[in-house]
Amino acid sequence: MRGIGIDIIEIERIGNAISRNDQFLKRIFTSKEITYFEEINYRINTIAGNFAVKEAIMKALGTGLRNFKWVDIEIHRDDLGKPSVILYKNAKKIAAEQGIEEILISISHSKDYAVAQALAI
């Protein structure tokens, strides 16, 4: 194991960010993630979960948001809805430099909060 990260976010906070800034989604999420959000009618709890897991991944990498962009981390879901991570550009390079071959993630939410955990292996 190379790192672990966890994050929790108020779902309402993400909803407010989207309402106030029409570029928020494009700055934080890849086009594939946004397409997924469209398919699920922009469920705010899912968007908040994706945001939280990106934060958890940054913590697992041990870098925070340094030397790469939000969109260098993409959350993909398989046919059953299980999330997985795809790293791009500098985030991928940083992971490789640390010997990280895989990042396992888990996302959950309640009425008010989304929480996520990331384990870098």
Catalytic residue numbers, as ranges: 59, 109
| Number of other CB atoms surrounding residue 21 within 10 Å | 11
Helix, strand, coil distribution of the chain in percent, nearest 5:
45, 25, 30
Numbered residues of the known binding site? 7, 55
Numbered residues of the known binding site for Mg(2+)? 7, 55
Pairing of strands 103-109, 73-77: unpaired
Q: How far apart are CA 21 and CA 37, in angstroms?
A: 17
